[in-house]
A = this chain, B = another copy of it.
Amino acid sequence: MDTNYPSVLLEKAVNEFSKLPGIGRKTALRLVLNLLRRTEDEVDGFANAISTMRHEVKHCSMCHNISDTDVCPICSDPRRDKTTICVVENIQDVMAIENTQQYHGLYHVLGGIISPMDGIGPGDLEIASLAERVGKENVKEVILALSPTMEGDTTNFYISRKLAPYNISLSVIARGIAVGDELEYADEVTLGRSILNRTPFAN
């Protein structure tokens, strides 16, 4: 579509917004016009929050999660179990697991999963630093919490080989029927695994 923007400044702002994932040009225009209706201070607050974040946010030197400090609040919390490391793909996964309040160990954020299709190999991920951490520190268990996809399984297998020299127990999160799901609509692989990996009935 050959859209004529009435202002070059407006067009530039729309261009910037439409570079974001899932934001088309019509949505970008709607967002920009919303900002235009706000006060200058509000818009400067928006722009500064984003710019400051990009310049000042760090990655935790231990788990590679996003952090404001050199070591993140989870890694530096003395109440967390430092013998257990949960390996996840990205920071959203850390937040999702933290929200369950069921896990009290540490994390290791890979920054992606092995995906030859997207040109992502083991060297692009924080796998060497995971092996180093396991070798140096008193780690007893590593939990692999990656997505149950081909790429996730490949990454799990690669990590298991890298960690083979160390005396730790390696586990993966349980696959099975999600709480609230109907059995008859579950796919065969999931249903099959949920029978193989059945757990003792607890009353």
* Chain A residues with a Cβ under 8 A of chain B: 1-10, 12-13, 15-16, 19-23, 27, 29-36, 38, 40, 43-57, 60, 65-68, 72-74, 90-92, 94-95, 98-99
- Docked CA distance A10–B95 (Å): 13
Q: How many monomers of this chain does the complex have? A: 2
Contact at A47–B51, with CB atoms within 8 Å? yes
- Docked CA distance A172–B16 (Å): 36
Contact at A40–B54, with CB atoms within 8 Å? yes
Chain A facing B: main interface SS: helix
Given contacts A6-B67, A66-B10, A68-B7, contact A53 B32 (CB under 8 A): yes
Known A7-B66, A9-B68, A20-B31; 14 more pairs at CB < 8 Å: A4-B95, A5-B95, A6-B60, A6-B67, A6-B72, A8-B68, A9-B57, A12-B49, A16-B50, A19-B46, A20-B35, A29-B92, A36-B54, A43-B51
